[in-house]
Structure 1
Amino acid sequence: MDPSSKPDGDESPVSLPSEHRFQLLVNAIKDYAIYLLDSQGRVSSWNTGAERLKGYTAEEIVGQHFSRFYTPEDIATGLPARALKFAREQGKFEAEGWRVRKDGTRFWTNVHIEPVLGPEGELIGYAKITRDMSQVRFSEQALYASEQRFRLLVEGVRDYAIYMLDPAGRVTNWNAGAQLIKGYTAHEIMGQHFSRFYTSEDQRNGVPAHALQTALAEKRYEAEAWRVRKDGTRFWANVVIDAIFDEAGRHIGFAKITRDITERKRAQDEMERAREALSHAQKLEAVGRLTGGVAHDFNNFLTIIRSSVELLRRSGADEEKRERYIRAISETADRAALLTKQLLAFARQQPLRPEAFGIAQRIGSMTQVIETMLGSAVKVALALEGPLDAVKADPTQFDTALLNMVINAKDAMPEGGTLKISARSVDEVPAVRRHAAVKGAFVAISIEDSGSGIEPLTLARIFEPFFTTKPATKGTGLGLSQVYGFAKQSGGEIDVRSRVGEGTCFTLYLPRTAGEVCAATGGGLSDVPRETPRLCILLVEDNDDVGQFASGLLSALGHSVTRAGSAKEALTILEANRETLDLVFSDVVMPGMDGVDMAKEIRSRWADLPVVLTSGYSHVLAVDGDHGFALLQKPYSIQELEDFLYRAMPVVQRTG
């Protein structure tokens, strides 16, 4: 059998000559131009990579001199011949340079030429490998250009001191801005520790080291503080320090940027001083308006009281006239007391007695009063459906606030209209009067009218005390101030939206509560029995006039009164006569030990002795309940006094 013959189906590989296999390998390489030159520099072979890089086919280029790939400038200088001569003499030639494609475009190459020698060492040609390095060169040039631009940018910046520190904090470079701001030239400051720019106080307190530690730990440090120039003057600086790490993550230093913001700080300080001056002026204006309003109303009240007193003194006044004058005095005193309460509410100094109550039930119980107040020309619409959580607030003050808003709506609808009262649970108080929105659980009570609306300039001032657009006989300008004070003191807010000619909507936000709703309507004094046992009372009052009046009033009610002019005197009397005294009735504001401290002392020494405090001072009223003693607000009526005394007594004494 012929050994060269193969059975059918035998597919053993075809054996190729080694020269052919090598040619296949060279032709398969596409990223490199690999070809041979003869001893004269003419192309004698051409691979696929050479065709792709240079644009010539083998038929077009074989036999052509390789110099045609060079630029005219390189040809003019004899570079092709020098390259071959260098390769022949030195064993290889390697360089980078521009080459030209068939279409005339240029590309940057890495060229490698080696001589090819025969068996006897004779030169038979050259092996040439060319690689297109255009993209690499472009990237390198772009990076270099970018670095140069960045260096020029940093060097040219004059408003910022931009420089580097080594890991120890020594200066390693210095830009023109750093020299301008800090006064040092690069020659003077390179290698110096950056702490020399800090004030002596900051150096003693370790601020420079802390700055670097913070930058290293948190990758960034920023602050504003005083820094020191070369001439010793100080400037206010904004400083940023960033920790710098190399590709391996090693810490190699810090980048530091300093900006002189002295002028900005000076302007801010001037603005703050101007703002404080304006605020002070506005406060004085408000105090003046408040004082004028209080003086106006109280002068009116005093005129009525004084005239009534003088008429009572005149002989010949019959019983009917006397009763009218007495009623005028009483009603005017009540109006003065109400004015005081409204002022305290606006100032958030009115003592509140918060309870949990249902809004829907509370408004529902007031509907008849509201409808009567508005009259038949105004239609009242209630939108209180749906589940509403209880709120925590003073129910009596809520009634007053609601009625104040209703009165305001009525005045805006002289020809009639619609008043809508609605309530809903919300989880946020929206931005009000330039304040940010507040998250929380609230019930929003809205009173919306279809009236004339409010001008924007007026709208901005409606909560100011004594500010009113109504005639002098129509209002005091304290109704909405009371609403504002009540809302704030209750932990809520009041908002108002209005469009001229379309109407106004007030929205009162009160905090929701999960507490049990009180069945009572505020624990009024009217439920307390009026008959009070005859008591032996220690009256503590430092003002003689008030002391004499209060002593006479208590005596007129049938009580036995012992008077003390100070807390110290009262304690001395108690030490000697405790067994004969049933109750202590004391003013709060007194020189030396005040009434609250005295009451605490009495409680610690004679725990069974009841104490009733009284005051008209707003701060004392505001902290009502903090001291744990009954507090009767001045001015008070005889009935209120009797009720307080009764409630202060132990049950056994009330019934005994």
Structure 2
Amino acid sequence: MAIMNTLNSSETEYYNHNQLLESLPTAVYACDSKGIITFFNQAATLLWGQQPERGIAMWCGSWKVYRRNGTLLTIEEYPMTLALKEGRAVKGEEIVIEKPNGDRVYVLPHSNPIFNSAGEITGAITMLVDISDKSKHEKQLTDTKEIYKDLLEEKVIERTLTLQKSEDRYHKMVEEVEDYAILLLDPDGNVQNWNLGAQKIKGYTEEEIIGKNFSLFYLIEDRERQLPQTLIQRAASEGKAMHEGWRLKKNGEKFWGFVVLTALHDDDNNIIGFSKVTRDLTERKQLEDQLRENAINIEFRNKQLEEYAHIASHDLQEPLRKIRIFAEMLSHKIKDEDALRDIKKIESSATRMTMLIKDVLAYSEIAQGHQMFVPTDMNEILKNVQEDCELWILEKNISIVHDDLPVINAVSIQMHQLFSNFMTNALKYSNIGGTISILCSTSYTEEEKKQFHLKEGTTYLKLIFRDNGIGFDAKYSDQVFKLFQRLNSTQSGTGIGLALCKKIIENHSGSITVHSEVGVGTEFTVYLPFS
């Protein structure tokens, strides 16, 4: 009778630990000494993309395994094979697992051989850590260190010993994990086991914490609003509960923990306890808080700069207006030709300074991106710009040729600025009797989509502004969109117009390029999303 009680107790403990392993978020599987797979958890099935046949499948449940350089690994080179044949732990070298559907997953394997009391290898156990997202979460993944050390000691010979040894293996595996606090709780939330990760994260020794309620790890205000009990109830009703928030260490320090509570059931689906896995994400939380604070500071400073730009614009333009007024008054009183020429220079400089201030203000306003996007008729925009430039067009006898333009979702005033800058730029550098063309289409090549980063599934309007004016050397193409860059000093301007065009296009999630040839003309190509 005592033997049967011991047997039943071992079976129950084995079942509990087996469920604990099943609930772990990391893939774990085991093989016997011949390489036959004897155990794998749900996380391993998801990682492999298939469920191998337990007791028949060998070495690994993966469809194919590669090195990071893309070369195929042979079975003899599998981490599990090396651990079994060489009797050593295999860890630290990344491999690539290919699923049956062709998807590939980057993993970091940790394989450890299992020895019996005679020192003979009786099997091996492997943990596969998914590191596919390490380019995005490099810092988090570098925190993952060697997790397993000598996971299992002896191989079981008969059924009773098999159950007992399995319990020891699982218990040791859980204990050795350092980056996760992995606990077993009874149905009331009292701690039943304690691993190294829990001691490292929370600060308690096993002797200090076994039998205590897990609510001890929560802040006083969380305990008052019964957060621990709420999570237990949610895990009991839904099978799992996740939460992220501040937790308490033994010394009173706070850490930011991510917690997963999973309900454990017996054969009759009765809840017999809970597994609790905690990850310390304090560094990530501090980084997020710092980024959030920086964003708030940047927004505040941008607002201050915006206010300053408006104030400075008003304060700078006022004395310039007076300079122009007094210069004009002087020109009516002075008859000396040399003095009049000097006054004209003063008026011209004051006018250019006023234009510069207005352009800088317009550039700063576009950078803020507060304008409203509305359906905008591009034909109407072009018509208004032509009317603005009518005298200049007539004076230079310029022909305007254009396609029928569509309606797009845009900031109307910015589209007027865009067309106006392109039109005045073309008029400025066109020869008398020249032609300015405005063409449009919705077709573009795959090469254009890659070069200008056009989004898949988004329809773009391709606009071409072309003139047959003086043009410029193609080597200066990258400079034309920079602030205060002017390639021709013989023409008036502030050097902001094309920089303003580029900013407007970026504000509309578009792209722009330019092609020019000396003596032939210039062509600006713009890509704007319809919405």
Q: State the TM-score, normalizing by the size of structure 1.
A: 0.40
The structure with the larger Rg is 1
